[in-house]
Amino acid sequence: MKTTLERPRTTISGVPIEPVYGPGDLKNFDYQRDLAEPGQFPYTRGIHRDMYRGKLWTMRQFSGFATPEETNRRYHYLLSQGQTGLSVAFDLPTLMGYDADHPMSEGEVGKCGVSISSLEDMEILFRNIPLGDVSVSMTINSPAAVLWAMYLAVAEEQGVKWQRLSGTLQNDILKEYIAQKEYIFPPRPSMRLVTDTIEFGALETPKFNPISISGYHIREAGSTAVQELAFTLRDGMEYVDWALDRGLPIDKFAPRLSFFFNAHSDFFEEIAKYRAARKIWAHVMRDRYGAKDERSMKLRFHAQTAGCSLTWQQPYNNLMRTAWQAMAAVLGGAQSLHTNSLDEAYALPSEEAVTLALRTQQILAYETGVPNTVDPLGGSYFVERLTLDTEAAANEYIDRIDGFGGMIPAIENGFPQSEIASASYRYQREVEEGERVIVGANRFQSEDKPIELLQIDQSAQRKQEAKLAGLRKRRNQAAVQNALDNLSRAAEGARNTMPFILDAVRAYATLGEICDSLRKVFGTYTETTHL
């Protein structure tokens, strides 16, 4: 069996790593084309001239579990501990557009996130949280328009103008077909809903990002860093194409497009990935789409440390993994960051574990000195060569997807799915054969000490079911049905669905009822397996 020291050195993506780098590795390097100053095109060194010297990244811990009441208490706790933005994790029924009392929801309510079935739940979730002052991110995709409408309605109730709201809606349906598989409708009607939110956001919520184009889940499914970068950016281009086809001017909506990347364990490869991402996107927006506003060319991204890298063996090792991954994200220029908790290979984070995860970011921000200079690794022979190699490899993938005619035909042909599956298989084989060391899992094993875990029982489901039963008795059923009928007619035609979804939400139609109205018009989607 080869040891790690005997095998050729490569990044996780398979890019060869030389023993040492020097000027000869950058002989075709052009300073203005490939690097430039921070805040200048192509933004390789960062989208802001001062970066963290001017403003630290947003510390946005992903959180949600059980009922809205319990998650609201966790949010108030995290804000009291210095968290600077909220990020909502929804449970599986919510992600799939089912109410908590639907038979398909049995056993899953509140287990992997908070249960939200109606505007009433969203009101409780953000109780006593001033939405005009706190940035909110929501990790929701197929029913994203519905959950966003609930959030906007709560802001109305608080008296907060939508123009003040800041945050991000994930709303990236393409990566669901590629990697995460939490979809409801077929690709094209799903893209119509995404485009509706982008159009609505451009008109109504100028500080809110209506989409977060997400490589994170592509990486969690087993992709390499290069595949994560390429598929994410090509997804972004697909959304741009659809918005342009809708008639939206590029500089009207592109400044609010945001991205979400994984922060994995290969330290320098991750830094190079973020730097290459900014450079590729800047050139795509300027040269492919003709953007004139520099805000359209600046790739803004949130990062989350790699959940797939966490081990249930020796879970306290996950603290160190997360710290290094967070460091890579910051050195790579992230605008916001989530650090995973040590217990997430077992369960949703306990209060103690999530506090340690937040403290990891705070120590990085206030004790290490890392934010004191912009792009501290810029000019490194190794980092610049790796950035160029990552850029070139990602562009090869983008060209191949263009050859399919775009990302949707590529997905329908199974191209990104098969590429990710192959990469995942190679990585897992290396781990199982001992070629890739995972400390505590396949080497340096020792007996684990038990840790305290967050427990979520079936009481969350029963509470949510009772709440829904009460809501259905109190609301105006005629108003609900009228709103749902109007939404169905809008979906059958070409009108933007967001105003009609908002009307249904305000009438206290439930998530499941709204999604069922859309299911009747759009149908549902079953993936075709490609071998």
What is the pLDDT at residue 364?
98
For residues 500-505, average pLDDT: 98
CB 256 within 8 A of CB 209: yes
What is the pLDDT at residue 530?
57
For residues 206-230, average pLDDT: 97
Count CB-CB contacts under 10 A for residue 283.
16
One-letter amino acid at 345 equals: A
Q: Rounded to an integer, what distance in angstroms lies between the CA atom of residue 57 and that of residue 275?
A: 16
Q: What is the CATH number of the domain that holds 361?
A: 3.20.20.240
What are the φ and ψ backbone dihedral angles of 227, each rounded to 5 degrees? Answer: -65, -45
Q: Rounded to an integer, what distance in angstroms lies between the CA atom of residue 40 and that of residue 56?
A: 19
One-letter amino acid at 141 equals: N
CB 155 within 8 A of CB 131: yes
Q: Rounded to an integer, what distance in angstroms lies between the CA atom of residue 256 and that of residue 213?
A: 11
What is the pLDDT at residue 531?
55
Domain that holds residue 286: 23-432
Which stretches does DSSP call E strand in 71-111? 85-89
Confidence of residue 4 (pLDDT cuts 50, 70, 90): very low
What is the pLDDT at residue 392?
96
Span 157-201, pLDDT tens digits = 999 999 999 999 999 999 999 999 999 999 999 999 999 999 999
Does residue 474 lie within any of the structural domains? no
DSSP assignment of 172-216:
--HHIIIII----S-HHHHHHHHHHHHHHHHHH-TTEESEEEE-H
Count CB-CB contacts under 10 A for residue 158.
15
Count CB-CB contacts under 10 A for residue 26.
17
CB 265 within 8 A of CB 321: yes
CB 210 within 8 A of CB 197: yes
For residues 489-495, average pLDDT: 97
Span 392-401, pLDDT tens digits = 999 999 999 9
Does residue 448 lie within any of the structural domains? no
- 284 DSSP 8-state letter: I
Q: Rounded to an integer, what distance in angstroms lies between the CA atom of residue 35 and that of residue 468?
A: 55
Which stretches does DSSP call E strand in 37-76? 58-63
Confidence of residue 529 (pLDDT cuts 50, 70, 90): low
CB 281 within 8 A of CB 236: yes
Number of structural domains the chain divides into: 1
User: Tokens standing for 60?
Assistant: 């946005």
Does residue 341 lie within any of the structural domains? yes
Span 45-97, pLDDT tens digits = 999 999 999 999 999 988 899 999 999 999 999 999 999 899 999 999 999 99
Span 423-435, pLDDT tens digits = 999 999 999 999 9
- Dmax over CA atoms of the chain, in Å, equals 74
Does residue 7 lie within any of the structural domains? no
Across the chain, what does the average pLDDT equal? Answer: 95
SS3 of residue 16 by DSSP: strand
Does residue 503 lie within any of the structural domains? no
Span 236-277, pLDDT tens digits = 999 999 999 999 999 999 999 999 999 999 999 999 999 999
Does residue 339 lie within any of the structural domains? yes
Does residue 207 lie within any of the structural domains? yes
What is the pLDDT at residue 383?
98
Kindly report the pTM of this predicted structure.
0.95
Does residue 229 lie within any of the structural domains? yes
CB 114 within 8 A of CB 91: yes
SS3 of residue 378 by DSSP: coil
User: Which of residues 466 and 5 earns the better pLDDT score?
Assistant: 466
